[in-house]
Structure 1
Amino acid sequence: MGNCYVIVIDGLGVGAQEDAAEYGDENENTLAHLCEATGCKLPNFQKLGLGNIIPLSSVPANNEPLCAYGKMREQSAGKDSTTGHWELAGITLDTPFPTYSEGFPNEVIQQFCGGIGVEDVLVNKPYSGTEVIADYGEQHLQTGLPIVYTSADSVFQVAAHVDVTPIDKLYEWCDFARQHVCTGEHGVGRVIARPFKGTPGDFERISDKRHDFSIKPPMHNLLSSLQQHKIKTYSIGKVVDLFSEELFTQYRRTKHNAEGISQLLSLMSAVSDSFVFINLIDTDQKYGHRLDPAGYAACLQQLDRAIPAIISKLQEEDLLIITGDHGNDPTSESTDHSREFVPILLFPASLSMDINLGTRQTFSDVASTVSHFFGINVDFPGESMLTME
């Protein structure tokens, strides 16, 4: 049977979808604009066929790509990581998760404060995570009030200094918000605990202690189906934070892409007949949101250098899928995600229905493909890209 690996390069889009204007993203094209702005060379991705998906100024098409290639259209409403990963796992959302461009309503904040025993919160508006602690961290130290903020994504974020609020207490606050505040019409995709340390002028987020409390996905999904059929499931990176922890046999959170790649290579030597779901977050979190095309390009080149090692670890019966979850154009004026097609690379190409997979109608083609690979008959919205019996 073999192993199936799905690698999600967070925020890697390949051009605006037909409905992108509804999201203000009609001019976005993360990968093409990145190549134009930086001249980014990706020789190993070029061998796989990345340059065959759309024209890229610095990554030419390959006449004999190692992968079947194409792009996928998102059917769900939204353009965030939870929505994208859920659709990859066979879940389509008709209504996007709520966002709060003006901050959370008073009743939400009051319920949160009452539940955790504080008088008020600081900020309560969209803010950069690094800037919010720089601007409000000292006031937080003086008052002990939690810093609550959001972003363009559907998130309720709580930041607190470890000397004011122990990390376990912060987790309790966020769990309360997940269970009792951010529900129903205010059911954001994620409640995120953001502990930080340091002194005024030198505050620093403690990235490996961040914890996401995600809304639980509908139980008809790829991961639950695999578990029902006794297929082991593994998460690397933030995937576990987008799904229920109980949906994974084992999960490994990571601080950055280098660790994610290292964990993947290690796991590839240990698993058999298993599904491994990997998110590589730096392209989105560190560079897309911060409008840093040079950093984004260097991040892709880091992964490009790892491609030969990943391919060499694959067994003859294994399947590798590389894709994205949404766009995040670092050359844009917007720091938000973008409504884009995402790439699909499928290795080995010999398993695919065609070398050119064209434009797939839903991210859920991945769920159907993985199910087909493991011989499971499940009625996800997508279609399998494989020809294997």
Structure 2
Amino acid sequence: MPRAFLIVMDSVGIGAAPDAGRYGDSGADTVGHIADFCARERGAQLEVPHLVRLGLGRACYLATGRVPAGLDGALSPGGRYGCAAEVSKGKDTPSGHWEIAGLPVPFEWGYFPKTSPCFPPELVAELCGRAALPGILGDCHASGTEIIERLGAAHMSSGKPICYTSADSVFQIAAHEEAFGLERLYDICAVARELTRPLMVGRVIARPFIGEPGRFERTPRRRDFAIAPPAPTLLSLASREGRQVISIGKIGDIFAHEGTGREVKATGNSALMEATAKAVAELADGGLAFTNLIDFDSLYGHRRDPPGYARALEAFDAQLGQLLGQLQSGDALIVTADHGCDPTWAGTDHTREWVPVLAVSPGTSGASMGRRTSFADVGAACAAHLRLPEVLSGQPAGMLD
């Protein structure tokens, strides 16, 4: 029976989406601008030969009409390649992943205004009352690392957690693991999840950190408290049919643990790819493994670090080459992304972009799958490959057949 492996390169966009202007992102191009940076600033092209062989450069051309520097190889691509635009509103992680899994988001997320304070006072009062808090710090839009550095000492002395948001639909709570307590932070986030649900806020995120003033460091024990998908996804359909599902990285959190099967946590792209390689070796016939690689987004995109992003892409490409060699007859691998986060773009937010869709199955010839009008085509193609009986939103034709 066939197996399916789905890897989301979190934030690896390939050019401004058709509606990017609505989001202030006309001209954004995560991969293209990173490739330009490499050619211009480090004097060496972006080296991602396995992604190029799968058709990344050609996917970029479909999206923008140009092939970025260093991605112009693969005259005979080894996979199906294309680009996809998102139909869900917004440009955040749950929207992108749900749509990839065959469920475009059917509603508008709730966002907090770019004011200070930004949270409704009644929400803050209820949170403090129910969680027995002396108050909160922050109450604004902020970069997580910056606000922890700025308010960490006051947090430790006052016992007030640091609460902040961003352009995404999120309510984030940062607290010191030792001075405040990790489990207490999780408990407060659970209360905040309940309180923000009527506002349709996509995620409440626990952001634990350690260290001393001037040397604070976020830890890998982040936890996302997400709204559950309102309808079946590729994951829940596969689980319902008794198929083995392995969710790697933050997939479990993104889907509120609905149909996510065995959840595997790891810190960093390299460890997550090692977990994916282990899944290739262990996944049962008919199974699905779904991986999110968060470092591209959290460490390099949001922090606007082009050289770091380039190194991360090259390191991923090397591990991808090893993974490709593990695929068995009947396996299908799709590599895609959930949005962009152009490290050369203004601000620190995600960018509304086309994403690459690179599909490979042993014995399948390379060809263009063209421009796809929804990320949901990915989920539909995986469902068709796995011969799941129910139909997801999206058009699978031309992706793996």
**Aligned residue identity for 2:52:** Q
| Superposed displacement of residue 385, structure 1 | 3.5
| Superposed displacement of residue 316, structure 1 | 1.0
| Superposed displacement of residue 350, structure 1 | 5.0
User: 5 Å matches for 1:21-36?
Assistant: 21-36=21-36
- Check conservation: 2:136, 2:161, Cα contact below 8 A: yes
User: 5 Å matches for 1:32-181?
Assistant: 32-39=32-39, 40-53=46-59, 54=61, 55-100=67-112, 101-102=114-115, 103-179=118-194, 181=195
Work out the CA distance in 1 between the residues paired with 2:288 and 2:357.
17
- Check conservation: 1:72, 1:360, Cα contact below 8 A: yes
- Check conservation: 2:369, 2:398, Cα contact below 8 A: no
**Aligned residue identity for 1:215:** I
Work out the CA distance in 2 between the residues paired with 1:242 and 1:90.
14
Work out the CA distance in 2 between the residues paired with 1:58 and 1:386.
27
Equivalence for 2:42? none
Equivalence for 2:284? 272
- Check conservation: 1:9, 1:322, Cα contact below 8 A: yes
SS in 2 for 1:176: helix
- Check conservation: 1:372, 1:386, Cα contact below 8 A: no
Equivalence for 1:20? 20
- Structure 1 residues 385 and 322, CA gap change in structure 2 (3 angstroms): farther
- Check conservation: 1:368, 1:378, Cα contact below 8 A: no
User: 5 Å matches for 1:183-262?
Assistant: 183-184=197-198, 186-207=199-220, 209-262=221-274
Equivalence for 1:372? 384
Equivalence for 2:43? none
Q: Does 1:320 align with 2:333?
A: yes
| Superposed displacement of residue 334, structure 1 | 2.3
Work out the CA distance in 1 between the residues paired with 2:163 and 2:297.
22
Work out the CA distance in 2 between the residues paired with 1:372 and 1:20.
31
| Superposed displacement of residue 246, structure 1 | 4.2
**Aligned residue identity for 2:196:** C
Work out the CA distance in 2 between the residues paired with 1:215 and 1:74.
19
Work out the CA distance in 2 between the residues paired with 1:351 and 1:268.
18
Equivalence for 2:296? 283
- How many residues are aligned here? 385
| Superposed displacement of residue 228, structure 1 | 1.4
C-alpha distance after superposition, 1:26-71 (max 9, x if no partner): 1101111111111312122112211111211221142111111000
| Superposed displacement of residue 386, structure 1 | 5.1
- Check conservation: 2:98, 2:229, Cα contact below 8 A: yes
User: 5 Å matches for 1:286-301?
Assistant: 286-301=299-314
- Check conservation: 1:351, 1:387, Cα contact below 8 A: no
| Superposed displacement of residue 18, structure 1 | 1.4
Work out the CA distance in 1 between the residues paired with 2:382 and 2:279.
18
Equivalence for 1:342? 355
SS in 2 for 1:139: helix
**Aligned residue identity for 1:15:** G
- Check conservation: 1:365, 1:382, Cα contact below 8 A: yes
SS in 1 for 2:358: strand
Work out the CA distance in 1 between the residues paired with 2:389 and 2:375.
18
Deviates more, 1:314-323 or 1:213-222: 213-222
| Superposed displacement of residue 188, structure 1 | 1.2
SS in 2 for 1:166: helix
- Structure 1 residues 388 and 253, CA gap change in structure 2 (3 angstroms): closer
**Aligned residue identity for 1:360:** R
- Check conservation: 2:328, 2:362, Cα contact below 8 A: no
| Superposed displacement of residue 351, structure 1 | 4.4
Q: Give the % identical residues.
A: 37
Equivalence for 1:8? 8
- Check conservation: 2:333, 2:360, Cα contact below 8 A: yes
- Structure 1 residues 90 and 246, CA gap change in structure 2 (3 angstroms): closer
C-alpha distance after superposition, 1:234-277 (max 9, x if no partner): 11111111012241220112211011011111221111221000
Work out the CA distance in 2 between the residues paired with 1:312 and 1:387.
20
| Superposed displacement of residue 373, structure 1 | 0.6
CA RMSD of aligned residues (A): 1.6
SS in 1 for 2:242: coil
SS in 1 for 2:18: coil
TM-score by length of 1: 0.95
C-alpha distance after superposition, 1:61-86 (max 9, x if no partner): 42111111000110000101110000
Equivalence for 1:383? 395
- Check conservation: 1:67, 1:349, Cα contact below 8 A: no
**Aligned residue identity for 1:6:** L
| Superposed displacement of residue 219, structure 1 | 3.2
- Check conservation: 1:326, 1:340, Cα contact below 8 A: yes
SS in 2 for 1:79: coil
| Superposed displacement of residue 359, structure 1 | 0.3
